């Protein structure tokens, strides 16, 4: 199984069958299948709903469509090695597009925030992704009131590029971010 190891974490990309296990049988079944201790994620309602929507509407269909490149279209479990449990997820919106970018997103269980885990996971995910020579830059979005997530991006050298309203039922205001990896 492919993985990325950091000093404290292990990032494991979920293939199509693992995503289906999560959807059909729940996170506890997924955790059991990949040999983890159970940890019930504590997420804000928005992030919980966004994760379930991504699971059903993006990760499962896209990993089915792109089985050889699934790692660009899935959730990577963020595993805290000392506890052998999943504390969140990180992932990309696909292979770099014709303009040379993809979006990165992440969320972390409330119980494990404020310890640098998201910063560490993002740092190593960026290092992994930047090995693709077609990837020129990464983009990200954060709710304008999510100062912790903004700090994670800043610590990983992202630059704020703007602000917009997402066209979701919530009308969420977000900051947009960009990280230049190589000249276009």
Give the tens place of pLDDT for each residue, 53-85: 999 999 999 999 999 999 999 999 999 999 999
Give the tens place of pLDDT for each residue, 18-31: 999 999 999 999 99
Q: 147-155 and 117-129 are packed helices; what angle lies between their axes, rounded to 10 degrees? A: 40
Strand partners, 86: 79
Average pLDDT over residues 111-132: 98
pTM of the model: 0.94
**Model confidence at 1: pLDDT above 90:** no
Residues with Cβ within 8 Å of residue 100, at least 6 apart in sequence: 134, 135, 136, 137, 184
How far is the C-alpha of 179 from the C-alpha of 34, rounded, in Å? 32
Q: Please give the structure tokens belonging to residue 183.
A: 């000249």
**Model confidence at 104: pLDDT above 70:** yes
Position 127 confidence tier, pLDDT thresholds 50, 70, 90: very high
Boundaries of every domain in the chain? 4-180
How far apart, in Å, are the Cα atoms of 62 and each of 7, 14, 78, 135?
A: 30, 12, 20, 19
**Model confidence at 115: pLDDT above 80:** yes
H or E element at residue 124: helix 117-129
CATH class of 4-180: alpha beta
The whole-number pLDDT of residue 169 equals 63
- Is residue 15 within 8 A of residue 74, CB to CB? The reply is yes
The whole-number pLDDT of residue 167 equals 73
């Amino acid at each position: 199984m492919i993985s990325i190891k950091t000093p404290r974490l292990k990032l494991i990309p979920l293939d199509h069958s693992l995503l289906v296990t999560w959807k059909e049988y729940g996170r506890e079944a997924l955790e059991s299948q990949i040999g983890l201790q159970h940890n019930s994620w504590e997420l804000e309602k928005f992030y919980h709903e966004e994760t379930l929507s991504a699971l059903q509407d993006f990760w499962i269909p896209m990993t089915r469509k792109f089985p050889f490149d699934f790692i660009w279209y899935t959730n990577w479990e963020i595993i805290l090695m000392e506890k052998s449990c999943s504390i969140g997820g990180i992932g990309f919106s696909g292979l770099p597009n014709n303009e040379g970018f993809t979006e990165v997103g992440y969320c972390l269980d409330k119980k494990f925030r404020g310890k640098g885990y998201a910063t560490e996971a993002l740092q190593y995910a960026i290092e992994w992704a930047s090995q693709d020579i077609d990837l020129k830059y990464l983009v990200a979005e954060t709710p304008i009131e999510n100062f912790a997530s903004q700090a994670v991006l800043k610590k990983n050298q992202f630059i704020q590029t703007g602000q917009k309203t997402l066209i979701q039922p919530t009308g969420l205001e977000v900051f947009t971010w960009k990280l230049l990896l190589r000249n276009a």
